[in-house]
C-alpha cells in the first residue's frame, strides 16, 4: 500500500509513485576496468583534483526551486554531476535552468549538445522564459553542437569553448549519444573518462546528462558515468494508478549531507519545481 503523510495546508499536494525495479550501481570491478584503460598519470591527476576539492565549503547553487535545499545549498565547485533518467523526465530543462541561473549571476556557461540542434534547444528554452540571446551577445553563454562522427575533436571543442568565455558551468547533453556513433564499448568508456578529466582540470562545475532505458538495471547507459561522477541525481517518471508522477532522488553527492528520500517535482510553464518537504513513496 502507499503510505500517507499529513502536511500543512499550504504544502503542495503529495505525490506517489509505484515501485520501480531496483537500480543498483555496477560492481566496483567495472570502475577498476575503466581506470585501467587510461594512463596512470591521468589517474593521479583525477585523484589530486578530488582531494583538493574535498576541502572546499562553498557551493554552486543549481537555482531550481527546492533542489538546493536537498544538497546543502548546491553543488561543490568543480564537481561533475550525473543527471540521469528515462525520457520525459525533464533532463534538458533541468540543465537549461542550471545554465540560465548561473548566467544571471555572472557565471559563464557552455552547453554542448551531442544530439539536438542548438536552435531547437534555445527555442524550447525561450518557451520556458529563458532567453539566452542576451547572454550570448555578452559572451556569457555558448551553445555548441558536436558531431560525434568526429570523436577525435571532442576534447578540443570542449576546451576551446570553455576557455573562450571563461566558463564555470558546463552541460553535456547527452553522453548517451556517443553510443550511437562509437560502437566499441571500451572506447566509449575511455572517452567519457577523459572528458571528465578535462572538465575537472578546467575547474568547471558540470552536469552530464545520461539517458537510461525504462526498467534498466543501472544508473546510466554505459555503466561508467556514475563512477566518474562526484554526484548523481536520478529523475523518475513512473505510473501511479491511472496517471504518471515524477520524482527525484539524490543518489550520491560527494562531500555533502544530502537527502536520501524520493521527492516529487513538477515540470511547469517556467521549468522544474522540486518539493523538498514532500516525499514520494514507493508502493510495496
The Cα-based distances of 221 to 138, 149, 189, 214 in angstroms read: 36, 19, 11, 11
Ranked by mean pLDDT, the top range of 87-91, 99-103, 219-223 is 99-103
Report whether pLDDT(222) > 80: no
Q: Which residue has the higher pLDDT, 192 or 93?
A: 93
Q: What region does 204 belong to: left with phi over 0, alpha with psi -120 to 50, or beta? A: beta
Give a yes or no: residue 19 inside a domain: no
> Going by C-beta distance under 8 Å and a sequence separation of 6 or more, which residues neighbour residue 201?
45, 49
Mean pLDDT of the chain: 80
pLDDT confidence band for 283 (50 / 70 / 90)? low
Domain membership flag for residue 13: no
**Residue 25: inside a domain:** no
Give dist(CA 216, CA 201) in Å, integer.
Answer: 32
**Domain range for 102:** 30-56+74-231
Closest CA to 182 of 114, 83, 113, 112: 114
C-alpha 252/C-alpha 230 separation (Å) is 8
Domain membership flag for residue 277: no
C-alpha cell at 168: 564555470
- 231 DSSP β-pair partners: 81, 253
| pLDDT for the residue numbered 32 | 38
> Per the domain annotation, does 244 fall within a domain?
no
Residues 6+ apart with CB under 8 A from 193: 34, 35, 37, 38, 42, 224, 228
Position 42 in a domain: yes
Q: Which residues on adjacent β-strands are paired with residue 269?
A: none
User: What total of structural domains would you count in the chain?
Assistant: 1
pLDDT over threshold 70, residue 169: yes
Cell of 173: 547533453
Cell numbers linked to 83? 543527471
Write the DSSP string, 151-171: GGGHHHHHHHHHHHHT-SEEE
The whole-angstrom separation of Cα 234 and Cα 91 is 10
- Interval 23-76: pLDDT, tens: 333 333 333 333 334 433 343 344 434 433 444 459 999 999 999 999 999 999
Domain membership flag for residue 162? yes
Phi/psi of residue 185, nearest 5 degrees: -65, -40
**Nearest CA among 138, 205, 208 for reference residue 167:** 205
User: Per-residue pLDDT tens for 229-240?
Assistant: 999 999 998 876
- First-to-last alpha carbon distance for the chain, in angstroms, is 6
- Give 282's pLDDT tier (boundaries 50, 70, 90): low
Chain-centroid distance of CA 234 in Å reads 8
Residue 265: inside a domain: no
Point out the least confidently predicted range of 28-37, 80-89, 115-124, 217-226: 28-37
- Residue 208, domain CATH: 3.40.50.300
Across the strands, what pairs with 267? 272
- Spell out the long-range contacts of 221-224 with Cβ–Cβ below 8 A and sequence spacing 24 or more: 221/175, 221/176, 221/179, 222/175, 222/176, 222/179, 222/185, 222/188, 222/189, 222/192, 223/26, 223/30, 224/30, 224/31, 224/34, 224/188, 224/189, 224/192, 224/193
Amino acid at each position: 500500500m502507499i503510505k500517507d503523510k499529513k502536511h500543512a495546508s499550504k504544502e503542495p499536494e503529495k505525490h506517489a509513485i509505484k515501485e520501480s525495479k531496483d537500480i543498483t550501481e555496477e560492481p566496483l570491478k567495472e570502475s577498476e576496468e575503466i581506470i585501467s584503460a587510461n594512463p596512470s598519470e591521468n589517474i593521479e591527476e583525477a585523484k589530486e583534483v578530488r582531494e583538493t576539492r574535498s576541502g572546499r565549503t562553498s557551493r554552486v547553487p543549481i537555482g531550481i526551486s527546492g533542489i538546493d535545499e536537498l544538497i546543502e545549498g548546491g553543488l561543490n565547485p568543480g564537481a561533475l554531476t550525473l543527471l540521469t533518467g528515462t525520457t520525459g523526465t525533464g533532463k534538458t530543462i533541468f540543465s537549461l535552468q542550471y545554465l540560465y541561473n548561473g548566467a544571471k549571476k555572472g557565471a559563464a556557461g557552455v552547453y554542448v549538445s551531442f544530439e539536438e540542434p542548438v536552435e531547437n534547444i534555445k527555442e524550447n528554452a525561450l518557451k520556458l522564459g529563458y532567453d539566452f540571446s542576451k547572454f550570448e551577445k555578452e559572451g556569457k553563454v555558448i551553445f555548441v553542437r558536436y558531431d560525434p562522427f568526429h570523436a577525435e575533436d571532442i576534447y578540443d571543442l570542449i576546451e576551446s569553448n570553455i576557455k573562450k568565455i571563461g566558463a564555470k558551468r558546463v552541460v553535456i547533453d547527452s553522453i548517451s549519444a556517443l553510443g550511437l556513433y562509437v560502437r566499441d564499448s571500451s572506447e566509449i568508456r575511455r572517452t567519457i573518462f577523459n572528458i571528465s578529466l578535462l572538465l575537472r582540470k578546467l575547474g568547471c562545475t558540470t552536469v552530464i546528462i545520461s539517458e537510461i532505458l525504462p526498467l534498466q538495471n543501472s544508473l546510466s547507459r554505459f555503466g561508467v558515468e556514475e563512477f566518474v561522477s562526484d554526484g548523481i541525481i536520478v529523475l523518475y517518471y513512473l505510473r501511479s494508478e491511472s496517471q504518471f508522477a515524477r520524482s527525484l532522488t539524490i543518489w550520491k553527492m560527494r562531500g555533502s549531507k544530502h537527502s536520501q528520500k524520493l521527492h516529487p517535482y513538477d515540470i511547469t510553464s517556467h521549468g522544474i519545481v522540486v518539493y523538498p518537504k514532500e516525499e514520494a513513496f514507493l508502493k510495496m
